[in-house]
Amino acid sequence: MAQGRTFGIIDTISTWLMRLVVINILWIGTTLAGLVVFGIGPATTASFIKIRGYLTGEKVSYVEAVRRYFLRSVLFSWILLLVGAILVVDYYFLFRWESSLANVFIGLAFFFTIFYLVVVAYGFIYISEGRTIKEAIKQSVIYFLRKPSMVITGLMSIVIGGFIISQLAVLLLFFSFSLGAVILALTFGK
């Protein structure tokens, strides 16, 4: 009996490892096929749809998910890119500003950066549920305010997992995105 349970556990682990590898390769391929700027949003959204399908047992098509959410996810990723660029420029000038108000504005920029990272992390999950861009941003912030411990747990788990994966460079090819996406999907609760 124990031998059957052991092989069941090994089967489950190997199945999930294979799923993570497939999702990561699909994500990298779709991102590169879209020349990054047009590919990263649809690849991320479709990956979250595929992960949700694995978790719920639904059969979902990655290609169909890319097609269905292409425009919305591309626009969302461009908005995130623009806001991220604005934050980088803000930090650039704030750290060079010689004023007593600089620390106040650096604190505000840090505050907005936290919310930006939450929207980057959880916004694509809401997009993959069919929400509009405005709803995805709003719901990501509300989720963070409602369940900060889950968000912090998810983000810290991604940092730890990323550190472990970065120690073995070959794992980056197979798990760089998919491990973080599964962690976010598992820590994401309604």
What pLDDT sits at residue 105? 92
User: Among 25-34, 58-67, 136-145, 162-171, where is mean pLDDT lowest?
Assistant: 162-171
Residue 14 burial (CB < 10 Å; 0-12/13-18/19+)? Answer: exposed
183 close to 157: Cβ distance less than 8 angstroms? yes
Is the C-alpha dihedral spanning 141, 143, 148, 149 positive or negative?
A: negative
Taking only the tens place, the pLDDT of each residue in 142-161 is 999 999 999 999 999 999 98
* Distance of alpha carbon 124 from alpha carbon 131, whole angstroms: 9
Q: Does 190 score more than 80 pLDDT?
A: no
The per-residue pLDDT of the chain, averaged, comes to: 92
Is pLDDT of 3 > 90?
Answer: no
Q: Indicate whether 120 pLDDT > 70.
A: yes
Q: Percent of the chain, pLDDT > 90?
A: 81
